[in-house]
Amino acid sequence: MKGLLIKDFCFMKQKHLLLVISLCSLAGFFSIVPLFPFFCTAFLVFIPSSTITTDKLENGWKALFVFPFTRIQYVLEKYLFVIGCTFPIMLIAALESMILWKLNIAYLWINLAFLLLFCALDIPILLFFSANIAPSLLSLGMILFIAGISSSVSFFLMEVPNHSLLVIVFGSLIVFALSVLLSVKIMQKKDL
Residue 184 CA to chain centroid, in angstroms?
Answer: 17
Helices (H), the chain: 2-14, 17-30, 36-57, 60-64, 71-101, 106-128, 134-149, 153-158, 162-189
- Whole-number Å distance between alpha carbons of 86 and 94: 12
> pLDDT tens, 110-160?
888 888 988 998 899 889 988 778 778 777 777 766 666 555 555 555 666
Alpha-carbon span 26 to 30, nearest angstrom: 7
What does the domain layout of the chain look like in residue ranges? Answer: 2-189
> pTM of the predicted model, to two decimals?
0.85
Structure confidence at residue 36 as a pLDDT band (50, 70, 90): low
